[in-house]
Amino acid sequence: MSDKITLVVRFRMKESAKKEFTAKMRDIFAHIVKEKTFVQASLVQDMRDPKNILIYEVWNESPESFMKNQMSRAYRAGFEKMIVDLKIDRTPAWYSTIAEWTRA
């Protein structure tokens, strides 16, 4: 099995929480982009339901090593607290790549 994983996290929140959530995401990704095993990420919003936001992250790690190495980073503590404080619903899912396409 490859150590390349995709983490998709669905966040559901009140409209009033989106500004703080997005600002905190920008702050945390200022650190994440410097991580050796980080590949790419996108933050997207459902066009029909703006309270539904997804983060799509690609890492050169296994789910186990990600949880051990990445979730313990000090810069994540404020984000984790915000999730609880703003009562944001979070649903993570791990994916492995079975095929890839890029523009020629």
Pair 38, 86: CB distance under 8 Å? no
Cβ-based neighbours of 63, under 8 Å, separated by 6 or more:
5, 7, 94
Q: What is the pLDDT of residues 48-101, one digit of tens each?
A: 999 999 999 999 999 999 999 999 999 999 999 999 999 999 999 999 988 889
pLDDT of residue 2: 60
Distance (Å, whole) CA 29 – CA 43:
11
pTM of the full structure: 0.89
